[in-house]
Amino acid sequence: MSKRFAKRLLSLLISILLVHAVAFMMVRSTRGGPFDEERSLSPQVRVALEQRYGLDDPLAVQYLRAVGGLLRGDFGPSLRYRDTQVSELLADALPISLALGGGALLLALLIGIPAGLLSASKRHPLGAGIAATCSTLLLAIPNFVIAGVVVALFSFRLGWLPPAGFGQLRHLLLPWLCLALPLAAQIALLVRARTTETLQGAAVRSAVAQGLAPAVLLKRYVLRPSLTPVLAFLGPATAALLTGSLVIEQVFALPGLGTFFVQAALARDYTLALGVTVVYTALLGSCTLIADLLMAKLDPRVEALS
C-alpha cells in the first residue's frame, strides 16, 4: 500500500467523521422529535422513551455517544422500528441497494460504451446520429419520468414485468433500466468526445494508412484512451446512482437504503438517518478510490496509488 493510497484512505475516514458530525447537527436542529407523531403517548411515557434512548442527555453527550458507536460500527437502536438495531436494518437493505446500483452501473456501461463508439464512427452515420440524439434526450429526462414510461409500457401495457415489489430478479429489471439510461447517456457522450479526439490523432491516421484492420485499430489505439474518461467519471456516476436510487426505490417499493433514508427523515429517526448517511458516504468514497486505482492502471500518465 503506497503512501498516496494511505493518505486517500485517511482522507476518506476523516470525511466520514465530518459528514457524520454535520448530519448529526442537521437532524437534531429540525423541529419536532421522533415521538411527536404518536399523539396517544402520555407525557410520562414520552419522558420514559426519551430517557431510554438517551435523548434527554445534553447534545454534546449524545454526539460523543454517537461518535463512539460509529467507531465501533454500532449506530444504536432505531427510534422508528422499536427493538431493532440500525445495523440490522442496514444489513438487510444494503445488499438490495448494492444490487440495484451495481446492476444499473453494469447496464449503463454495456449500453453507453458501444453507443459512444458508434456515435463517433463515420462508417455508420445513421446509427451515429441516432445514438447521439438518444444520449442528448436521455440526459434531459428525469429518472422518475423514465420510470413512469417503462412501468406504463412493460407492466401495464405489455404485462411483462411487475410494476413494484421485491423478491425475484425480474423485480430489478425496470429499476435497473431507469437508473442506467441517463447514466448510459453521459457515458456515451464522454466516450464519443474522447473517441473523436483519438481518431483525429496522428497515431490512428498512420495506422489507417498502413491498412490496419478496424478491429485491431479499435483494440490497440481507440478503446483504451476512450475508457479513461469513463473511469474518471465512475465516482460522480456512483453519486448519481445513489441519489437516483432514493427516488427509484420509492417508485418501485424496493426496501433498500433509499427507502429507509426517506422514512428516517419523515419519522425523525435520528439513528437510522445517521446510519444511512454514513453508509452512503462510505460507498461513494470507496467507489471513487476504486475508480482512481483503475484509472491509474489504465492510463500510465496518471500517478499510481499503489
- Written as tens digits, the pLDDT of the chain (306 aa) is 467 677 778 888 888 899 889 988 888 777 766 666 655 666 777 677 777 777 777 888 888 888 888 888 888 888 778 778 888 888 888 888 888 888 898 898 898 888 887 777 666 666 667 777 777 788 778 878 888 888 888 888 888 888 888 878 888 899 999 888 888 888 888 888 777 777 666 666 666 666 666 665 666 666 667 777 777 777 777 766 776 677 888 888 888 888 888 888 777 888 888 888 888 888 888 877 777 777 666 665 555 444
CA 145/CA 147 separation, integer angstroms: 5
Whole-number pLDDT of residue 138 = 80
Distance, in Å, from the CA atom of 167 to the CA atom of 160, rounded to the nearest integer, reads: 16
pLDDT, residue 306, reads 46
Say what angle helices 143-150 and 170-199 make with each other, to 10 degrees.
130
Q: Which of 172, 148, 176 is nearest to 161 (CA)?
A: 172
In contact, 93 and 256? CB cutoff 8 Å = yes
For residue 183, what pLDDT is reported? Answer: 87
pLDDT at 304: 44
Alpha carbon 203 to chain centroid, angstroms: 37
Architecture of domain 96-256: Orthogonal Bundle (1.10)
pLDDT at 60: 86
> How far is 272 from 257, CA to CA, in rounded Å?
10
Q: What pLDDT sits at residue 117?
A: 78
**Contact (CB, 8 A) for 78 and 84:** yes
H helices present in the chain, as ranges = 3-29, 43-52, 59-72, 86-119, 125-140, 143-150, 170-199, 202-209, 214-217, 223-251, 257-267, 270-298
pTM for the full predicted model: 0.77
Determine the Cα–Cα distance for residues 25 and 60; give it in Å rounded to an integer: 10
C-alpha cell at 184: 448510459
What is the per-residue pLDDT for 29? 77
The DSSP output letter for 1 is: -
Q: Write down the domain spans for the chain.
A: 96-256
